[in-house]
Structure 1
Amino acid sequence: MVFFCFLVDQKKMVRRSKPAAGSCSRCRGGASVADMRTDTRFCSVPFYRRKWKAIICTFCGAMLKSYR
């Protein structure tokens, strides 16, 4: 018997952030250090949650660097 399960969605959310020194290399906007959370759901059931840190641009939202 074969079961197919498709990735329904994966959301990246910023839990909290604080300003960081430096600027974005793409738009020259300000940067901030953010505590991120990724929620993955398979077949509408929450399956995996991961917390990590990233440096993101406050203007364009680009992820400049991530820390696991």
Structure 2
Amino acid sequence: MVFFCFLVDQRRKVRSTKPAAGICSRCGGGAKVADMETATRFCYVPVHRRAWRAIICTFCGAVLKSYHHLSSFRH
């Protein structure tokens, strides 16, 4: 009997933030623009990393809008 176990996880990290105009449509909290990084790991080995920009709620943390890949992202 062969048993395969594949462990894949994805971590999202906020790199930097700036205040933004607007409010959250879910909870009514304020909004901020954040440079985000998503790292996908397979069996604890990083296989894909993506940088992107999003508008997130300062109260509930919901992603209100996301943008494409950042071209000037520093690791």
Task: Give the TM-score taking structure 2 as reference length.
Answer: 0.80
Identity of aligned residues (%): 74
Aligned residues: 65
Shift, 1:5, TM fit:
6.7
Give the alignment's Cα RMSD to 1 decimal.
Answer: 1.3
1:1-68 to structure 2, matched below 5 A, reads 6-68=6-68
The separation in 2 between residues aligned to 1:36 and 1:5, in whole angstroms, is 29
Q: Gaps spanning 5+ residues in structure 1: where? A: none
**Could you list the runs of 4 or more consecutive aligned residues of structure 1 that deviate by over 2 angstroms after TM superposition?**
4-8
1:8-32 deviations in whole A, cap 9, x for unaligned?
A: 2100110000100000001110000
Task: Give the TM-score taking structure 1 as reference length.
Answer: 0.88
1:24-59 deviations in whole A, cap 9, x for unaligned?
A: 001110000000000010121111100000000000
Query: Which structure has greater strand proportion?
Result: 1
Q: Gaps spanning 5+ residues in structure 2: where? A: 69-75
